Amino acid sequence: MSYEQLTADNAAVLFIDHQTGLSTGIQDQSVPEYTIAVTALAKIAKVFKLPSVITTSAADGPNGPILPILPELLPDAPLIHRPGEINAWDNADFVAAVKKTGRKKMIVAGVSTEVCVAFVALSLIEEGFDVYAVIDASGTWNKLVQEVAVARMVQAGVKPMTWVAVGAELQADWRNPTEAEFGRVMGEHLPFYGCLIDSFLAQKA
């Protein structure tokens, strides 16, 4: 095993099927926790200017449209609507958008973890990419399903992560210029960190 850090120059983010209908079925964590994690990951992609790709599956059906926060935060990210392919990697437009990023490290999140995330992650590994699955910005129907999905991906070489870990690895050093922006994301979406900052500021007042 080797360790090469995620950086703003080597990584891209893939948001797979974060759709309104699919999101209502998430039960491996609370829906608010999931929504916070997806929002935070999108903000991290924006802070570090990571190329991002968003995709949906049959968005005109019961899966529903993409969560509005994603195109709102990432208006320049291509939004690929798949008409039927379950594995997004089977869609030529999605593959082209991913390869156009020019990055080899792919940060992946989506719904559901064992299908939409795992299938793409396994396909990316097969294509020679380095893959990071953001589990808290993904969701599925119960905790057992999530655990099985993570185990399958890990066996193939996918690295499970959380949105905080992704952001911290990209930040690398609090003296880097993105410190204020990343700190703001942490404070907004990680309750203890928001309290920590408020306590610090109160002491300085």
Question: Which of 116, 122, 158, 164 is labelled catalytic?
Answer: 116
Q: What angle do CA 62, 114, 189 make, to 5 degrees?
A: 80
Contacts 24+ apart (CB under 8 A), 60-65: 61/21, 62/21, 63/17, 63/19, 63/21, 63/22, 64/19, 64/20, 64/21, 64/22, 64/23, 65/19, 65/20
Is 116 assigned a catalytic role?
Answer: yes
CA-wise closest residue to 166 among 139, 129, 135, 143:
135
Active site residues: 116
